[in-house]
Structure 1
Amino acid sequence: MSELVSPTTTEAGAESPDAYARSERTAPTRSADRAAYDHETVHSILDTGYVCHLGFVRDGAPVVLPTLYGRVGNRLYLHGSTGSRPLRMAGGTDPGLAVCVTVTHVDGLVLARSAFHHSINYRSVVIHGTAHQVTDPEEKTAALDALVDHVLPGRAADSRPGNAKELAATAVIRLDLTEVSAKMRTGGPNDEPEDLSLPHWSGVVPVTPVYGAPIPSDDLAPGIAVPAYLQNL
């Protein structure tokens, strides 16, 4: 049976200060007992991912774009070209851009004896809120460093920072982690009792990311060794 994760609460049943408050948009309508709202669970899922999906409405139609992100405390930062439509929509004198951001990890393929009960083991986070363009130079620089280090910790200090031209061409948006929840599934298949005797293999195929050996660029200068943060992957 799948492990069930409950939201963090105080003894009185109120939301813990270490958990995000539940809302109508973050409370799942199905398998609600797999949801979690505590900071530790939410942050761990965000911090082990690279790509999020940014959803918003453009010209009355939904749009979802994959993009990199970085977390700093209770804020999520995303970046793109200053000509990017969603980034422009989140800036200027506008009140910000209403968005929904999701991050998902697939941890296993769950194979049941029946087609109906096939599933996946996963960890996911859904964030609702209003994104705003970052205009403060110091916050923007810190956010861009966080984006680089989120993918590979230590890389920001081991690369040339953006120059004035590059920074001018780059926009960053900020989304506060306020209305957010995690949801996950673990464990094996949930077969019907009458299916247990069927002659079909049942179980879980684990899915894990694997890093290969670093491949140097063709024009890398001789004598530049593979940095420790790559060797430690």
Structure 2
Amino acid sequence: PTRAITLAELARMVEEQPDLIEHEKPNPANGVPIEGLVAWRDFNPSNATFSSGTHIAVVQVDSETGNVHILQYVAVDDCGTVLNSYLADAQVHGALAQGIGQALYEEAQYAEDGQLLTSTLMDYTLPNISQIPSFITGVVETPSPINPLGAKGIGEGGCIGAPPAVVNAVLDALAPLGIKTIDMPLKPEKVWAKIQAARHGTLQEPEPAMPKIFTTDKGEQESGASIFL
């Protein structure tokens, strides 16, 4: 509050001291020099900024129904300089809800003729408030050298980190049954079917294919390659 001024005060200051605003460029529309309470600036970053983070999910899988319950979720993101911690947390929370939806519920289904079958909220499943856990979140501030604010993205972290964190937690819970893969979204019927197949000895689990970026020209897997958050 002590650093705030009203718009009227700002206008009066510029009227009395026009040099307070440095006009870097003329008006792009007509080339006329810009004067008064108007400023024009361009900023072209030299490169892209990349945020990073660590996401951990603790889940419970009901072996009789296939339902997945998220017991705890922890996310720590390095988003550069944080200007407003409340808005930063809101970005993370919203993105985590979206990422959890991708992992467990949301799926666009199409008919053979290309007609979208999940075109309304009656058909397209979104997580509700009872299916989203309370999050434990934190930030690490490593300012980016690419822009004056030192800012990086933060909303992307939940969308990117939540799906593998949740899916890997479910697969870890089901690992004793020999289950290695389940296609997203991990809806109860998919999880239940995998559990039943494992119990009845009909489970077929091929080894997940190694991404091409981790293979040699001959298609052989390179040793020591791993992906982690």
TM-score bin (small chain): under 0.3
Answer 1 or 2: higher relative contact order, Cα 8 Å, separation at least 6.
Answer: 1
- Judging by fraction of residues, say which structure has more helix: 2
Q: Which has the larger radius of gyration?
A: 2
- Judging by fraction of residues, say which structure has more strand: 1
